[in-house]
Every structure is written in structure tokens, then in C-alpha cells.
A and B are shown apart, each in its own frame.
Chain A
Amino acid sequence: MLLIAFGAAPPALAQAGREPQAEQFVQTAAQKVIAVLADRGLSIAQKKATFHQAINELADVPKVTNFVLGKYARTVTPAQRQQFATAFRTYAEGVYQSRIDDYRGEKLTVTGSVVRKPGDVVVNTTISGGQLDRPVVVAWRVQGAGGSWKVVDVQFKGVWLAITQQQDFVSTIDNAGGDVGVLIAQLQRDAQRPAAGVARN
């Protein structure tokens, strides 16, 4: 399934205002992800499957996968691209599922949004309650139009996760002399590691 950029949207007047549909999307989809992880009734396998599905609904996975390769997205072979997509997905799900696993019962509240350009919106939210003593401010960069939006990046304390991931991966490929295969192998190795909280200290 191809996911083409939002070029299909009609050209709109440049606005610096809010985008309520994007806000609504983040409120629903992101809250769902948090709820999945907070659900103690699910087995580990069930949680993984539900989390996988929730991420598909929340994020534009192909676009993000393409983005994190940086300049190498243009030169990677189709076979490597497919390998990388699988390795990256498994790696990212493992990493983020274990990180968000610490959060229980938190609530996500949309506080506003900024239209950067038509089809490119940053939705601002706070996550509070549960184990947090202070509300955490999280920004979501969503792209799309009308009722159809997808998350492409998340900002926490000023740091964009996809941008940081891109810098990480591009540096690894640079150090390997441009060989994307080295990065793929490392991601596959990292995905094999036992879950956080057990072996990691």
C-alpha cells in the first residue's frame, strides 16, 4: 500500500491557527496507545499485538521509516529497504513499548495546535496523572487533511524522536562507510535483547 504525501489536499490559505480535526485525532489515537499499555488484563502477546495495531492507526509508519534513513533513503536498494522496514519496526516497538510500559493510568489532554503549513500541524498535549508528579508536555507532529491524519514525529522536552532517530541511524551508516546492512544487522541484534527491566540496569 503506497502512502503518498498530502499533495491530494486542496491548496488552503496559509493559517497560523488551530486544526481541530488534527487535535481530535491525537486525542483519540494517542489516548488509545496509552490505554493499551495500561490494560493489565492483556497477556504480553496480546499487548504486543494490540500495541502494533494501535501504532498503525496512530503513526504513518512508511513515512517515518523513510525519514529515519535520512540521506540514505534515496540510495538504499528495495531489498534493503524492506529488510530495514522490518528490523526498524521490531526494534522501535520493543524500545517504545518498554519505555511507555512504566506509565499507568495517565491521561492525555490536548491543549492546542499550530498549523505550520496546510497539512502539517503540531498538536500540543499534556500527559498527567498516574505516576507523574508534574504534567509532561508532549507535542505531536501530524500530517494529513480533513478527517485523516497520521503522526510523523513526537516531541518531548524539545527533542523530536524521529529527528533524533534519523541522526542516530545516519551516523551509524556513515561510520559503516555507507553500508545500510550494518545498521540492519545491529537493529536485528538489538531486537533480540531481553526486555527492559530484567537484564538492563
Chain B
Amino acid sequence: MTTARYEGFACRRRRLAVAGLAAASAILAAPPGALAQPDSPAAAPANGELPPADLAATPYDPWRGANQQLFAFSMGLDRGLIAPVAHGYRRVTPQPIRNRVSAVVENLGEPGTAINHLAQGHPRRAGKATARFLINSTVGLLGMFDVATGMKLPPRDADFGQTLGRYGAQPGPYIYIPIVGPSNVRDGLGMIVDIITDPVSLVTGGVSTTLGATRFAATTVDSRLRADGAFKALKDATDPYATTRSAYTQRRAFVVRGASGEPDVLPDFEPVPAEPPAEPSPVPH
């Protein structure tokens, strides 16, 4: 890329990054109850502290109609296009090669992960992610082999939605992003910030370059295959939309707790009601 083009590209990204961070601060500054479920008792904490995530509560979904349509559209698109491509890739590519691709994709995400660990106030975790990136990129042959895990450096993901959550931002309304999948206002914004500030993308260039496009394609297919178990499980659900929404919301609450260390709120299991006395069977006269 020529210097001028790169500068223009970087300038646009800086402006978008600033806009993203401004929106992020707006969410962070919002009072705790503002984005929480309005009818949940957890929405208005008495002492100003943030309520721990109540995992059994129905996720706040004020845009349910639109989300359901986007979900149905995405499921159709997956069935018709994305799943066949991913399954085709799996059919023609031997497992060892797929493992190499997975490892490279994961490795390219480590710099962004390290930045988020730092932003969350976990410098040791950031150091480990950086070490992982350096070791796997060199000893692990450009990330093809995850040798760092064997060196007591297991992977530990971090993203900007989690960073926002760690500082108290509530997830906000549930949104279903076409093709990308389930999200919420906080995590969707976090995803945008992660994309814009990704150090690897800043070096290799965006999706418009060959390297960037290849990385994007590999990441997409790899992610779809990783999620294959979840897609298969959706076929068992009586309401796939509600199932996806619940599983995603719980997953993100878990990820944020990993950063903030807060305990979760589990529902009570009610005692089973006593069976009524057996009714006498009608006796025909």
C-alpha cells in the first residue's frame, strides 16, 4: 500500500475509533438501571451498585420483532450458503490442515486480546497473551502451531465488549446481527471497536487487501465450524430464537464475570408440588 493511501486509511480509522470510544463512554456513563431489563427487580439497585447478572431472567429484548426476522433470515442464509461452504471446506481439507488454519486465525487475534486484558486492568494476562503471540509466531511457525499452551500459557480470550462489561456497562438490548449472530448493544459496539483497533489489521491492511481478505475468509469459515455443534444443537430446540438468545446472554455474562470476578445469580429450583390425591375413576352406571 502506498504511504498516502495508508495515511488516509489510518486517518479514517482514527476518526471511527474516536466515534466508537465516544459512544462507549456514553454507555459507560449511563446509570446502571438504564440499560437493564425494566421489569426486573435487579434493574434499580438501591445502593447504586451494579446487580450481578441474573441468568434465569429473560434477556432484555425490546426489538424482538426485528431480531426474530433477522434471525430467520440468517438461519436461512446459513442453511443455503454458509453451512455448505464450511462443510465443504471440512470435507476437502484434512483435519491437520484445518488445525493449522485454526491456530493461525487464533494467533492473529492475540494482539487485540492483549490490549483488552490491559484495558481491563489485568497486566499479567496481557503479558501472557503477548508471550503467546510471540512464541507461536516464531517457534510455532507463524502461528500454525500452538506451542505456547504446552509452555503453561493457555489461551485466554478478551474483547472490548467484555472490557466495557468489566467496568460496569450493562449489555443493553439484545440484537441479532445478520450473519454475525447474536449480540447486544454493548458487545456489538465492542466488536466494532475491536475491528477498528485490531493491531494485526493495522499492519496487514483491511479487508480490501489480499492478506486482509484471506484472513477474513479463513476466520469466517473457522468460526462457523467451531460453532457447528451449537448449530446442530439448535435443531433440537423447540424455539431456536429464544434458545440462542438465552445461551448467548449467559455466555457473555460468564465472559464478563471472568474479567470482573463477580459471582453469578442462579435461579432457585422450586420443590416439586405434591401430587393431588388420585381422583376416583368414573364408574359407568
| A128 beta carbon closer than 8 Å to chain B | no
Report yes or no: A5 in contact with B242, Cβ–Cβ below 8 A.
no
Report yes or no: A159 in contact with B243, Cβ–Cβ below 8 A.
no
Task: List the A side residues contacting B255 at CB < 8 Å.
Answer: 158
Report yes or no: A171 in contact with B239, Cβ–Cβ below 8 A.
yes
| Binary A-proximity of B239-269 (CB < 8 A = 1, otherwise 0) | 1011101110011011100000000001101
13 contacts between A and B (CB under 8 A): A5-B271, A63-B271, A63-B272, A66-B270, A66-B273, A67-B267, A67-B270, A158-B254, A164-B243, A172-B238, A172-B242, A175-B239, A186-B238
Number of A residues whose C-beta is below 8 Å from B? 43
Give chain A's interface secondary structure class. helix
Report yes or no: B238 in contact with A163, Cβ–Cβ below 8 A.
no
- Extra contacts, 18 of them, besides A67-B267, A158-B253, A160-B250 (Cβ < 8 A), are A3-B271, A5-B269, A63-B269, A63-B272, A133-B99, A141-B266, A143-B269, A157-B254, A159-B250, A163-B246, A163-B250, A164-B246, A164-B247, A167-B56, A170-B242, A172-B242, A186-B238, A200-B232
**A62 CA to B273 CA, complexed, in Å:** 10
Report yes or no: A166 in contact with B236, Cβ–Cβ below 8 A.
no
B279 CB, min distance to chain A CBs, angstroms: 9
**A116 CA to B263 CA, complexed, in Å:** 10
| A190 beta carbon closer than 8 Å to chain B | yes
**A2 CA to B273 CA, complexed, in Å:** 8
List the count of A-B residue pairs having beta carbons below 8 Å apart.
95
A5-33 interface with B by 8 A CB criterion: 5, 7
Partner of A171, one of B241, B251, B267: B241
| Binary A-proximity of B58-83 (CB < 8 A = 1, otherwise 0) | 10000000000000000000000000
Task: List the A side residues contacting B245 at CB < 8 Å.
Answer: 167
| A169 beta carbon closer than 8 Å to chain B | yes
Task: List the B side residues contacting A2 at CB < 8 Å.
Answer: 272, 274-275
Number of B residues whose C-beta is below 8 Å from A? 34
| B55 beta carbon closer than 8 Å to chain A | yes
| A183 beta carbon closer than 8 Å to chain B | yes
**A60 CA to B274 CA, complexed, in Å:** 15
Find the A residue at minimum CB distance from B149. A134
Find the B residue at minimum CB distance from A96. B236
A156 CB, min distance to chain B CBs, angstroms: 10
Report yes or no: A163 in contact with B55, Cβ–Cβ below 8 A.
yes
B197 CB, min distance to chain A CBs, angstroms: 25
Task: List the A side residues contacting B275 at CB < 8 Å.
Answer: 2, 78
B195 CB, min distance to chain A CBs, angstroms: 23
**A170 CA to B245 CA, complexed, in Å:** 13
| A179 beta carbon closer than 8 Å to chain B | no
**A186 CA to B58 CA, complexed, in Å:** 22
| B207 beta carbon closer than 8 Å to chain A | no
Task: List the A side residues contacting B270 at CB < 8 Å.
Answer: 5, 63, 66-67, 73
Task: List the B side residues contacting A183 at CB < 8 Å.
Answer: 238
User: Taking each of A134, A158, A169, A201, which has the highest tally of chain B beta carbons within 10 Å of its own beta carbon?
Assistant: A158
Report yes or no: A78 in contact with B276, Cβ–Cβ below 8 A.
yes
Task: List the B side residues contacting A169 at CB < 8 Å.
Answer: 238-239
| A95 beta carbon closer than 8 Å to chain B | yes
